[in-house]
Amino acid sequence: MDDVITIRDLHFSYSREEVLRGINLTLKQGEVLGILGPNGSGKSTLMSIICGIQKNWSGSIEIMGSPLKDYTGKRLARILSYIPQSFDPSFDLKVETIVSFGRNPYLKGLSGPGAKDYEIIDEVMELTEIYGFKDRFFSTLSGGEKQRVVIAKALAQEGRILLMDEFTSHLDPGHSRKVGKIATDLVRAKGLSAMAVFHDLNQAIEMSDRLVFMKEGKIEALGEVWETVNPDVIWKVYGLRAQIITNPITELPLVVFYD
């Protein structure tokens, strides 16, 4: 498998204290890489560096074989789609308009989206089950509905790499599974690659090919699910005692906490 993102010795600090302290990891073509770790361990910071929001980092990051620092914003946006934890537009806009922003990296000059763009916009709104309220204003939606709009916008961007930061955390269990599955099925069907931050360990196990456990800006464990999910790692990372059993349906690890 080729690597679509390669990160070597990444360091970053917002002020004096380092938040990322020597991160080494790769995202392989076609995989979902789940990122786990307690609050403040640096997961969102890592995502925001990869998608070009945070700048003053040191180390090396290559995306599709080119240094991240060589990308323009528009070129990066055609490759990377970022789904943040929350999205707060400064103006209240209709759902369809927000989803259509996903097509911006493809538009020329001041021209708006064309027929082909609208085909894609409609398709992703159907997929994420928001088509029914495409003419409503964003501010009138529930938290979970808003999150589905943000996911649709990212899908409309058609990046080869999806970066998803706790992207199902506002969703009810039904939509969380459904939207999670849409994203991972899409990654697999279209040969995309994804990095996704999770807090729910069992959801991360189900959705990911490999897992990264972060703690205090460092990687504690990295590898396939059965290699990384064990009581020692969970104790070190979260300070929680857990037993790992085999999920009788998926045959994947199932984490049961007993603290």
List residues binding ligand ATP (CB under 6 A): 14, 19, 37, 39-45
Three-state SS for 188? Answer: helix
> Of the two residues 37 and 253, which places its CB atom closer to ligand ATP in the complex?
37
Q: In angstroms, give the least distance from the CB of 239 to ligand ATP.
A: 15
> Of the two residues 49 and 125, which places its CB atom closer to ligand ATP in the complex?
49
Fill in the amino acid letter for 229: V
Q: In angstroms, give the least distance from the CB of 180 to ligand ATP.
A: 18
Three-state SS for 223? Answer: strand
> Of the two residues 29 and 54, which places its CB atom closer to ligand ATP in the complex?
54
Q: How many DSSP H helices and E strands does the chain contain?
A: 9, 12
> Of the two residues 43 and 146, which places its CB atom closer to ligand ATP in the complex?
43
**Distance, CA of 188 to CA of 204 (rounded, Å):** 16
* CB contact at 8 A, 61 and 68: yes
Q: In angstroms, give the least distance from the CB of 197 to ligand ATP.
A: 7
Tokens of 223: 């590898």
Q: In angstroms, give the least distance from the CB of 51 to ligand ATP.
A: 13
Three-state SS for 162? Answer: strand
